[in-house]
């Protein structure tokens, strides 16, 4: 299935491992808001997290400042350990728990 599937913050923590505590909030605080003209300096209020087929996490949400729609890609899939963990979560959700939504 070449789709992005919904994941939880706990799944992101599993994927990122010990990098989660710093790298995740850093990512949420470095979005680009075209309305506020904040380049890589806007904070996202998270609505939904997605895991794409490349093992990257896509954060979908709103700008904390203006409420405009924002998203941010966290390139977790570039690191082999994170990629393997992401693939394990995808496989589990798709094959076993079937507890996910597909991003349209
Ligand atoms: Zn904004």
Could you report the per-residue pLDDT of 27-86, keeping only the tens digit for each? 999 999 999 997 889 999 999 999 999 999 999 999 999 999 999 999 999 999 999 999
Name the DSSP letter for residue 11: H
CA 80–ligand 1 middle distance (angstroms): 33
CA 54–ligand 1 middle distance (angstroms): 28
> Which residues line ion ligand 1, judged by CB < 5 Å?
33, 35-36, 63, 65-66, 68
pLDDT (0 to 100) of residue 74 = 98
Q: Residue 1 — very low, low, confident or very high, per pLDDT cuts 50/70/90?
A: confident
Quick one: CA dihedral 59, 65, 69, 73, positive or negative? negative
Task: Read off the pTM.
Answer: 0.94
% of the chain beyond a pLDDT of 90: 93
Q: Are 90 and 97 in contact (CB under 8 A)?
A: no
């Amino acid at each position: 299935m070449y789709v992005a599937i919904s994941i939880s913050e706990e799944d992101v923590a599993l994927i990122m491992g010990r990098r989660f505590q710093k790298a995740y909030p850093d990512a949420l605080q470095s979005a680009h808001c075209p309305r506020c003209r904040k380049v890589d300096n806007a904070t996202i209020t998270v609505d939904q997290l997605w895991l794409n087929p490349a093992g990257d996490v896509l954060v979908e949400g709103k700008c904390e400042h203006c409420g405009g729609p924002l998203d941010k890609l966290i390139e977790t899939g570039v690191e082999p350990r994170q990629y393997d963990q992401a693939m394990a979560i995808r496989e589990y959700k798709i094959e076993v728990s079937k507890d996910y939504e597909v991003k349209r």
